[in-house]
Each structure stands twice: as structure tokens, then as C-alpha cells.
Amino acid sequence: MNNQNTLTLQLTLDETNTILTALGDRPYLEVYMLIQKIQQQAATQVGAQNENGQAEISKDTKAQLKN
């Protein structure tokens, strides 16, 4: 994966949760690294936004981010 181009996407928390839910229906070995990468990036961004009071995170998202 290190030779692939990198994309920066801007998604809402709801859109991100929809993607995570869809990925959750796929076989674990097929998607677990992608889910982990999305969760790590989201946790960093949501944490920074919460400090500034700009975004709230749902209980479901918090549970997903802890996994």
C-alpha cells in the first residue's frame, strides 16, 4: 500500500459512520485494516474538534472508535 496515491476526503461523522457500518458487513480479514485506519484518523480529528467545541461524537461512534 505504500506505493499508492493518498486521498484526503472530507466527510461528516454520519457519512463516516455509514461507511464503517457498510464495511462491518464485509469479512473481517478483508476490511479490518481499513476500518482501523478510518477510526484512528477520525479519533484524532474529532478529539481536536471537541476541544474547540465544534463537533459532537455519538455514543455509537465512541464505541466504534474504542474497538
Separation between Cα atoms, residue 40 and residue 35, nearest integer Å: 9
Query: What range defines the domain where residue 32 resides?
Result: 13-66
**Which residue would you say has higher pLDDT here, 52 or 42?**
42
Residue 56 placed within a domain? yes
In the chain, the number of structural domains is 1
Cell triple for 20: 464503517
Separation between Cα atoms, residue 32 and residue 26, nearest integer Å: 9
Residue 26 pLDDT class (50, 70, 90 cuts): very high
**Average per-residue pLDDT for the chain:** 80
Separation between Cα atoms, residue 31 and residue 20, nearest integer Å: 10
**Which residue would you say has higher pLDDT here, 56 or 22?**
22
Residue 4 placed within a domain? no
Check whether 31 has a pLDDT greater than 70.
yes
Separation between Cα atoms, residue 27 and residue 31, nearest integer Å: 7
Residue 2 placed within a domain? no
Instruction: State mean pLDDT over 30-57.
Output: 78
Phi, psi of 56 (to 5 degrees): -115, 150
pTM of the model: 0.64
